[in-house]
Structures are given as C-alpha cells and as structure tokens.
Amino acid sequence: MASYREIAVNGLWKNNPGLVQLLGLCPLLGVSNSVVNALGMGLATALVLACSNAAVALIRGAVTDAVRLPVFVMIIAALTTCIELLMQAFTYELHQILGIFIPLITTNCIILGRAEAFAAKNNVAHAGFDGLMMGSGFGLVMVAIGAVRELLGTGALLANMQLLFGPLAANWQVTVIPGYQGFLLAILPPGAFLVLGLLIAGKNRLDEILAARTKARQPEVPVPSRRVRVTGVIE
C-alpha cells in the first residue's frame, strides 16, 4: 500500500493529472483565462475529487463488479450537483462565469479514473487523500496557466478576486505592466494550448535535470559483463 508521501508526490508531480496524465483538458483549457476562474474551478474539482474518492472507497465492499461504474457515476454526479448548488449560494457571480463547466465536472475523466484506479482498491483515508492530492495537482496547474494567461493577456494579476473571496479581495489586483496594451492570443483558447505545452515542456526538462543530478551523485556501478547468445535461433 502506498504511503501518504508517495500519494502526495504522485498527485502533485509525478502523475499530475494536468501535466502528465493530460486528463480533464476541457476545463483546464476552457476556464484558465484568469487566476480567479482557474482557482474557482480547481477548488471545485479538487473538492469533488476528494469527496468522491472517499465515498467510493467507503462503499467499495458493498458494490458488485457489474454495477460499480453506474454507482460511481451516480456518486460523482450527486457530489457535483451539491458543489454547484453551494457555489450558486455563496459565489453566485463566479458560478455565472464558470457556467457549464461546473456541471461538466461530472464528466471529468480524472474523477472516474481515480475512483476506478485508486479508490476502489484502497481504504477511505488513503483514497480521500489521493483525491485531494490529484485535485490539488490539477488545480495548481490550472492556476499556473491562469496566471500566465492573465499576465500575458492583460498585464495584471489577481483581478476580480472578490468573486471568490468577497468584497475585501476587490483590491488584490496587481498591475504588473502599467499601460499594457493586452495580448489577445493569451486570452483566447489557443493561448491555453501554448501555455500548457510550455508548462509540460518545462516539467519534463526539470525532471531530466533532476534525474541527471541523482545519477551523477550515485557512484558508478560497474556494468557486469553479460553473456550474449551468439548461436542458435532466436525465438
């Protein structure tokens, strides 16, 4: 059984749903045009994922194999609907902006994927933690894309944070580049693809550097000579 540390590393970095598994691309690209949208969507997804993982782990003994998928989908759909109602009640304007992407959390492949691949085989605590870490990994990538797109597109960061954190957050906006003319491509959907591509490339490069460093630190292990078969027919 995986340790909590392994689960965290897996969700946040090694097997990140946004950068490695490339699941749930639809909201990842669709609503990552500003930090506030990305954060709202990321939080909603992480919450549904953690709850659905825990719920699936809780009932995994009671559900027969033949009907497990419909049951998982029912659980996920119910949780998504609850989150949607809560967002409508407490962050009404953000809910209006994110619109159809909230109910579509139900169809996000990460959620059914984690239910089937992890939660159905692990206990409640592990499964819930895995959901939280996978959801946070997804959310962090979304916020990163949102920040780059908002900065490149409008020259500012953290605009409209009051949609999520109430009126006190209205002046959180940081104008990074005053008098910026705006760069439309970053805000439009192609900008999301470009930024995601660059992030994936950056992660892969970082992994390469890290791997090279660990390799350099380890003492050279002499390669034992291998017997090579030189006669006969290779089957």
Partner 1 sequence: MALPEISRSMLKNSLVLGTFAVLTVGVVAVTQLGTAESIEKAQHEAKMQALAQILPSGSYDNHLLDGSRPVTDPLLGNKGATPAYLATLKGEPAAVILQATAPDGYSGSISLLIGILADGRLASVRVLKHRETPGLGDKIELAKNPWIGSFAGKSLNAPTEAGWTVKKDGGQFDQFAGATITPRAVVKAVHKALLYFDAHRAELLKPVEKHNG
Binding site for partner 1 (CB under 8 A): 33, 59, 62-64, 66-67, 70-71, 74-75, 77-79, 81-82, 85-86, 88-90, 92-93, 96, 153, 182, 184, 187-188
Give 19 or 44: the residue with its C-beta nearer to partner 1: 44
Please, what is the minimum distance in Å from the beta carbon of residue 59 to partner 1? 8
Burial class (CB in 10 A: 0-12, 13-18, 19+), 59: middle
Cα separation of 131 and 49, whole Å?
5
- Chain Cα centroid distance, residue 188: 21
| Nearer residue to partner 1 within complex by CB, 88 or 204 | 88
Would you say 39 or 55 has its CB closer to partner 1? Answer: 55
Least gap, CB of 153 to partner 1 (angstroms): 7
Least distance from partner 1 to the Cβ atom of residue 50, Å: 16
Phi-psi region of 178 (alpha: psi -120 to 50; beta: other; left: phi over 0): beta
Q: Show the DSSP H helices in the chain as ranges.
A: 4-9, 25-30, 35-59, 68-90, 92-98, 109-117, 124-154, 162-165, 184-187, 189-217
Nearer to partner 1, 2 or 78 (CB): 78
Q: 21: closest CA among 146, 125, 118, 129?
A: 118
Alpha-carbon distance of 44 to 156, in angstroms, equals 24
Q: How far is the CB of 111 from partner 1 (least distance, A)?
A: 15
Shortest distance, CB of residue 29 to partner 1, whole angstroms?
A: 15
